[in-house]
Structure 1
Amino acid sequence: MNQNHTLLDSVPRKTLSKEVADRIIQLLVSGNLKRGDKLPPEMELIKMLSVSRPVLREAMSSLESLGIIHRKTRDGTYFSEKIGSQPYFNMLSLVMDDLPTIIEARMALELGLIALAAEKITQNELEHLYQTIEAISKHPGNYSEIDKEFHRIIAFSVHNPVLDSMIDSLLVAFDQMSKNIEVRERNVAVEHHTAIYEALERRSPPEAFSKMYEHLDYVRKKILKESRKG
């Protein structure tokens, strides 16, 4: 019997399937295959990786759940074109009850995005952004969905496939924070959003960063103060 095969057989199946998943990912990292490419057939992978069919299938299921691969009926398995958001959702789910951590994660991501958005945002996106500010100013009740749209437009204006996969997690963090806001201050939101919009319109990354930090820091302090009351 092949010595390598004997060593693999001695490794617990869960550990082995993870190792196999890592080796499949290496096909991408090494450049042997690219995004959107079709993976070799199952039997070929079994021989290439010296593993059993159950272990390979377990590894493939794991990769599929992470959005790294996807299966096409009667056509085979392909590496995904885009990075999926599932890994970020998985990480976020572990800290959903830790509000300060959620807030800091959102701030870190959004402050990076706003600086890039100042360079990349289009005129059409700026117009859409301004419409959300007007909508908030006229909304009689809870405007959280419009507020979220304001931040979503900025995030997606960067048009970066790596960051795109994180943005859904950013919006989950937004919702988690919104649930902890008891009293909304429409005038403050409009003032902050307008300052951010004007910095983006001037195409000034430092100013956009500064105005977004002021806004998110204000929200952070407000939420943490309200959560301590509970």
Structure 2
Amino acid sequence: MSSLRRSSLTEQAAEAIVELIDGRRLRDGDALPPTSELAEMLDVSVPVIREAIAGLAAIGLLKRQQGRETTVSVPGSSHLAQLLSLRVAGVEIEDERLQQFREIVEVGNAQLAATHRTDDDLIAMQTAVDQMRTVRDSEELHAADVAFHAAVSRATANDLCELTLEALEPVLRRLRRRVWSGWVGTGGSLDSIVEAHVSILDAIRQEDERSAARAMADHLAQARTGLEAPDATRPHFSK
């Protein structure tokens, strides 16, 4: 491994450590070489390596424990969620763009779920739909809605699909509230929302990819209606 002579040695050291992890095929729980060894390998000081390790630990790629060796870690949805939240806040991403991204992710999830779902996945989706039928306020509705879409993402049998939706959830929380208030403000009902989820579930149960994607797109069109409503910021709950 070549020595580091460019600016921002800490960043360069962090990149080199990531390359080392990849090159040695280190996995979750595997030990990283000692700090002194890394410093010698990269021809930088021990403090630079410590800073690089701290930065990688902050994003969940490494795990440090007092008095123990540093080990490789697999970042979870919480780490990605933090990055997404900072990105949304930092550049003031509009709800319209969040909705666009959600449509891309969730329509694809529904299509993939139709060919990979298990009986347990179908049970989880049905349970969420049943919960929607008995909600008493908008918070219970949001919880059931999140549970349904999470079950769809798990049914894809693709970790990246599930990870992405989990990470998006904190960002989408405000969007969901705005969409619901706008939907009710335009005369939309809870029953129509429930039936939209039933349509998605039925298509996934029948292993019909096209119908699942179309049903999810139709449901997210409801969300778009709520998003574009003029009074979409007022809180509502109505069955």
Does TM-score exceed 0.5, indicating one fold? Answer: yes
Is 1:166 aligned to residue 159 of structure 2? no
The 10-residue stretch of structure 1 (214-223 or 72-81) with the greater mean CA deviation from structure 2 = 72-81
Calculate the aligned-residue CA RMSD, in Å: 2.4
In structure 2, how many angstroms separate the alpha carbons of the residues matched to 1:84 and 1:169? 5
Q: Choose which of 137, 157, 179 in structure 2 pairs with 1:141.
A: 137
**Aligned letter for 2:121?**
E
Query: CA 1:28 to 1:119, structure 2 compared with 1: closer, same or farther past 3 Å?
Result: farther
Other-structure match for 1:154: 152
Shift of 1:82: 5.0
1:68–1:84 contact (8 Å) kept in structure 2? no
Other-structure match for 1:128: 124
Aligned residues: 222
SS of alignment partner, residue 169 of structure 1: helix
Is 1:202 aligned to residue 206 of structure 2? yes
Query: CA 1:110 to 1:31, structure 2 compared with 1: closer, same or farther past 3 Å?
Result: farther
Other-structure match for 1:58: 51
Deviations 1:115-174 (A, max 9, x none): 221122211221221122122122232211111111111112334333333222221233
The 10-residue stretch of structure 1 (171-180 or 15-24) with the greater mean CA deviation from structure 2 = 171-180
Other-structure match for 2:34: 41
In structure 2, how many angstroms separate the alpha carbons of the residues matched to 1:116 and 1:73? 43
Q: Choose which of 96, 105, 111 in structure 2 pairs with 1:109.
A: 105
In structure 2, how many angstroms separate the alpha carbons of the residues matched to 1:212 and 1:136? 17
SS of alignment partner, residue 27 of structure 2: coil
Other-structure match for 2:237: none
Deviations 1:182-223 (A, max 9, x none): 126211111100000000101122211111011112202321
1:95–1:101 contact (8 Å) kept in structure 2? no
Is 1:29 aligned to residue 25 of structure 2? no
Name structure 1 gaps, 5 residues minimum.
none
Other-structure match for 1:86: 79
Shift of 1:74: 3.1
Q: What TM-score do you get using the length of structure 2 for normalisation?
A: 0.82
Shift of 1:32: 4.4
Shift of 1:229: 7.6
In structure 2, how many angstroms separate the alpha carbons of the residues matched to 1:159 and 1:36? 24
In structure 1, how many angstroms separate the alpha carbons of the residues matched to 2:212 and 2:85? 26
**Aligned letter for 2:127?**
Q
The 10-residue stretch of structure 1 (44-53 or 157-166) with the greater mean CA deviation from structure 2 = 157-166
Deviations 1:87-129 (A, max 9, x none): 4431333224411111112222222222221122211221221
